Amino acid sequence: MIRTPNPVLDAVLTRRSAPRLTAPAPSRADLERLVQAAATAPDHGRLRPWRLVAVTGDERARLGDAFAEAAASPEQARRAVSKPLRAPLLLSIVHRSVPDHPKVSEWEQLAATTGMVVTLSLLLHSHGWASIWRTGQVVEAPQVRKYLGVTGGEQLLGWLYVGTRHDDDTSPKRSPCDISARIRWTHDGASRAARR
């Protein structure tokens, strides 16, 4: 039976991505603790096919330079250069699948990485920080991958921008998902009872 209030349900329902983030971000020790917890997300074979590159301070400007170098036009470069400054901490999400694993397909490994990131975003939210997962074509850019040290067999899945939500950030209310058409029960209660 679902009893409310419940802190996990509350965190899931109240988490909203924050397009603009300010300081403070979690300290290194706090972040490491939360990543340790997020690493418990479901992961077939416990392969942990991910790593994070944390970018803070002036390094964000260097990442912005890499974004700008990868841009297709001067106008795009002008906009790209300041993008990493939208949060005090950027967690670059690097995925590395074990190819041809005997039991765990590559999509399962990608699902494990995604589960970790979503768990981390919920944990951050439940401790008062906010985040947004962003990607873009820059994830493929050699300049960006080189700056972050992403190697050939690895996939850059974007960044979890992390910090504190601006006071004036009022995300519009989320419209509820109509789940009626998204869950199909193979047997209803009556037929199950009849089979017993």
Are residues 95 and 113 in contact, defined by beta-carbon separation less than 8 angstroms?
Answer: yes
Question: Quick one: 45 or 158, whose CB is closer to ligand FMN?
Answer: 158
Q: For the CB of residue 135, give the shortest distance to ligand FMN in the complex, in Å.
A: 4
For the bound state, the minimum distance from the C-beta of residue 116 to ligand FMN, rounded and expressed in Å, comes to 13
Query: Residue 110: enclosing H or E segment and its boundaries?
Result: helix 106-126
Q: Residue 132 CB, nearest distance to ligand FMN (Å)? A: 5
**Beta carbons within 8 Å of 67's beta carbon, 6+ residues apart:** 77, 80, 81, 83, 84, 138, 141, 144
How far from 79 is each of 57, 72, 93, 142, 182, CA to CA, in Å?
19, 11, 22, 19, 39
45, 103 contact by CB (below 8 A): yes
- Rounded Cα gap, residues 54 and 161, in angstroms: 10
Among residues 176 and 189, whose Cβ is nearest to ligand FMN?
Answer: 176
Residue (13 or 23) nearer to ligand FMN, CB: 13
What is the bridge-based pairing of β-strands 89-95 and 155-165? antiparallel
Closest distance to ligand FMN from the beta carbon of 178 (Å): 16
Kindly state the helix (H) or strand (E) to which residue 125 belongs, with its residue range: helix 106-126
Q: Which CB sits closer to ligand FMN, 44 or 133?
A: 133
Shortest-Cβ-distance residue relative to ligand FMN? 17
| Min separation Cβ 18 and ligand FMN, Å | 8
Nearer to ligand FMN, 60 or 134 (CB): 134
Residues that bind ligand FMN (CB under 6 A): 16-17, 132-136, 158, 171, 174
